Amino acid sequence: MISTKVRLAILACATFCLGYAAAVAQSATPAVPDPIVANIDAAQSATPVSNYVFGMFIEHIAKTMYSSLWAEMLDDRKFYFPITSKEPETTGRRPGGGFPGMQTRRWHPVDPDEVVTMDSDHPFVGDQSPKIALDATTPHGIKQSGLALVKGKQYTGRIYLRGSTGARVQVSIVWGTSASDLQTILLGPITPEYKKFLIRFTAKADSDDATFEVAGTGDGSFHVGAVSLMPADNIDGFRPDTIALIRQIHSGFWRFGGNYSSNYTWYDAVGDRDKRPSDWDFAWNAMQTNDLGPDEFAEFCKLIGVVPYISVNAGFGDAHSAAQEVEYMNGAVTTPMGAWRAKNGHPEPYHIKFWNIGNEPWGSWQLGRTDPKYFFLKHNDFAKAMRKVDPSIVLIASSQMLDDGNVPGPDRAKYVGNLGPLYGSDADWTGGFLKNCLGNFDGMAQHWYASPGVHFDLDKARSLAPDEPSDHANVKVDQTLLEFARYPANIVRAQAEAWQGYQQRFPAIADKKIFLSVDEYAYFGGGFGRPMTLKQTLAYALIFNEMLRHTDFLTMAAHTMGTSTIDFNRTSSTMNALGLLFKMYSNNFPGTIPVTVAGNSPQPSPKYPPGGDQPKVNSGSPTYPLDVFASLTPDHKYLNVAVVNATESQRSLDLHVAGVHLAGPSKQWLLTGASLDAANQVGHPQQLEIKEIAIDDPPSVLTAAPISVSIYRFPVAQ
């Protein structure tokens, strides 16, 4: 008789062997057939690609709007911080903040410190204005260094001053160390009331560390209210170089929101920009000037030819202020807020269609966060108030689909890998919206961010402490190039599988045609602040292909951030690798009709058990290791085919097309480079470009270059 201990040992051995065999089968690289075949059936089609799947997200973080898009050269131009020669405090309301790139250049006294005081008695704007005590012979004032100038370029601005009638005040821009390396403008006369003075400079040399100085001599004192300096070629305050680049991408829409919106007071960001008070952004621990408000965002969207999408403050904000923001942007001049907009110089309504209530209300980092049951009440109040002002708007709920990474701490061990019982519970924000807010939204938002070299381990997630962050379940893994590139596309696939689960549980999704908007997403394959490389761009091409396979419900997507498509410094810019890829896809696929792609080389099975960041079925087309997506133009005159080769080997693809006949001269747009690290950076030779290649007739065999993305356009015989 076999003992219990032996029986358990045999069972354990058998279980191990089966598990090992399954792991080997899953992790083994499948054999690649020769040739790889793509069978495209143009008679089998899906929902047309939305015009909004290549959108962008923007938020007031670091240089994502200021300096990248906005042309203002001076920091703290309305004097939120005290002016001193001492280094700023490192805690509390510090000038830098905790996010990289948010450090603010400071104003310093023109010797000595005591001549500059921050006067809170009748400030020009905000809580204080600098007051400078004068001397008859020694100039006293304030200065800011670190400005970037281009030789021969003109710069224009304005400054508001008041002071003693005997004050003699001048502004200077200094670009070197010799006595002649500056230009000075004498202002006057100075009056007891604030007066605006226009200024214009021409730089006589290049500089990365020029100084702007305001100084005076005489009797008494003078105050500086606000000051601004921009390159003279700015377009309504925006940089013409970055505007021209971003306009080429045809993103469809830009979303304005993010964590910042949870403590954003839009009333303070309209009207005369010089009179808008700077305030403290508690979401990012930084000062915000409020120079870029709703009007500027709408005008920016006009400049780049996209639709604006706004997230209202549902953190510290209320339904009344949200409704008034809708009225300000969309209301006729006969409405109170519409009249205010007209008074501010914008008589025509903006007719903004898309509105988002809140931003990530499920996150502990959101200001004003409440439990789900209370936020659902809040959402309904917002929706009713906003639609009362404008019934035509499209409302998007700030949802979060249930997954193993957001199971509440106390229930992790019970529910990780077993999410079924949680659908529709308080842990399920998307299900909660569907149960409690149906009729008060048209679409649902989803956010995701991913980094390479990690995997969300289900067993480790189950063992986390109740208060331990879920990302502590991430384990480091070695990834091949193809695994690196596929990882974020698998997240898209996993979320598509989750959405399909919601559709089964909540039939109202189909009945009311509720759509999904991936309002924020990014793959930090290169690391924050590093150049966008070809390697990372291959991953984004797989993301795009996977998103385009789910057009029946995924109708909007906004990449974080919109300015991540360009490489820029303070005076120059260029389109980076990701910008080139967005340009390729956004100029070819919106409005087109996806058609079926089959093949003879299925994608491998998932490497890890489904759950967390792992879908049940790997993303991609059955043309492994290539990924193929195809669609017809709306007029059925062309077939577009995208082919991504995220390997370092050249591949051949046999192209079989049914349902249409291809004939005539064709085109190929090719994006590749000499290495995976190829990038476009300002000040360096460009390593990447979109090559347009003429093809005589549609070939039966396509050649996919190593580490490349191609989009083909084949004419369809009529």
**Which of 32 and 88 is assigned the larger pLDDT?**
32
**Which of 697 and 54 is assigned the larger pLDDT?**
54
Long-range interactions of 548-552: CB distance < 8 A, separation 24+:
548/49, 548/53, 548/589, 548/594, 548/629, 548/631, 549/46, 549/496, 549/594, 549/629, 550/492, 550/496, 550/499, 551/46, 551/47, 551/48, 551/49, 551/50, 551/53, 551/594, 552/46, 552/47
Q: What pLDDT score was predicted for residue 678?
A: 97
* Minimum mean pLDDT range among 18-22, 55-59, 361-365, 711-715: 18-22
CA angle at residue 125 from 182 to 187, to 5 degrees? Answer: 30
Q: What pLDDT score was predicted for residue 667?
A: 97
**Which of 409 and 559 is assigned the larger pLDDT?**
559
Tokens representing residue 464 in the block: 């986390």
Q: What pLDDT score was predicted for residue 65?
A: 87
For residue 304, the one-letter residue type is: I
| Cβ pair 653, 34 in contact under 8 A | no
> How sure is the predictor about 20, in pLDDT bands with cuts at 50, 70 and 90?
very low
| Cβ pair 256, 355 in contact under 8 A | no
What is the mean pLDDT of the segment spanning 571-587? 97
How many residues are given for the chain?
718
* Minimum mean pLDDT range among 80-94, 229-243, 395-409: 80-94
- pLDDT over 50 (residue 699): yes
How many CA within 13 A on the CB side of residue 149?
28
- pLDDT over 70 (residue 2): no
- pLDDT over 90 (residue 659): yes
Specify the DSSP class assigned to residue 347: -
Beta bridge partners of 154: 202
For the stretch 208-248, pLDDT in tens is 999 999 999 999 999 999 999 999 999 999 999 999 999 99
Looking at the chain, the whole-number percentage of residues with pLDDT higher than 90 is 86
Q: H/E/C letters for each residue in 99-139? A: CCCCCCCCCEEECCHHHEEEECCCCCCCCCEEEEECCCCCC
Q: What pLDDT score was predicted for residue 324?
A: 98
**Rounded CA separation 247/306 (Å):** 8
Nearest to 30 by CA among 653, 625, 597, 627: 625
Hey, is 446 helix, strand or coil?
A: strand
| Cβ pair 556, 55 in contact under 8 A | yes
Nearest to 395 by CA among 380, 405, 383, 377: 383
Tokens representing residue 43 in the block: 């008679």
- pLDDT over 60 (residue 437): yes
For the stretch 165-196, pLDDT in tens is 999 999 999 999 999 999 999 998 999 999 99
How many CA within 13 A on the CB side of residue 26?
16
For the stretch 319-372, pLDDT in tens is 999 999 999 999 999 999 999 999 999 999 999 999 999 999 999 899 999 999
Hey, is 510 helix, strand or coil?
A: helix
> How sure is the predictor about 89, in pLDDT bands with cuts at 50, 70 and 90?
low
**Rounded CA separation 557/566 (Å):** 19
Tokens representing residue 628 in the block: 């193929």
**Rounded CA separation 603/490 (Å):** 12
The set of residues, in sequence order, having a beta carbon less than 8 Å from that of 373 and lying 6+ positions away, is 426, 432, 436
| Cβ pair 424, 431 in contact under 8 A | yes
What is the mean pLDDT of the segment spanning 431-440? 96
Q: What pLDDT score was predicted for residue 314?
A: 97
| Helix, strand, coil percentages, rounded to 5, for the chain | 25, 30, 45
How many CB atoms within 10 Å of residue 425?
Answer: 15
| Cβ pair 571, 578 in contact under 8 A | no
> How sure is the predictor about 457, in pLDDT bands with cuts at 50, 70 and 90?
very high
> How sure is the predictor about 102, in pLDDT bands with cuts at 50, 70 and 90?
low
The set of residues, in sequence order, having a beta carbon less than 8 Å from that of 439 and lying 6+ positions away, is 512
The set of residues, in sequence order, having a beta carbon less than 8 Å from that of 109 and lying 6+ positions away, is 83, 84, 85, 115, 116, 140, 141, 142, 143
What is the mean pLDDT of the segment spanning 7-27? 35
Q: What pLDDT score was predicted for residue 528?
A: 55
pTM (two decimals) = 0.92
208: part of which helix (H) or strand (E)?
strand 207-217
Q: What pLDDT score was predicted for residue 302?
A: 98
- pLDDT over 60 (residue 207): yes
By CB neighbour count within 10 A (0-12 exposed, 13-18 middle, 19+ buried), where does 610 fall? Answer: middle
**Rounded CA separation 287/307 (Å):** 28
For the stretch 530-564, pLDDT in tens is 899 999 999 999 999 999 999 999 999 999 999 99
Nearest to 661 by CA among 590, 584, 718: 718
For residue 164, the one-letter residue type is: S
Q: What are the φ/ψ torsions at residue 224 (nearest 5 degrees)?
A: -110, 120
Beta bridge partners of 714: 639
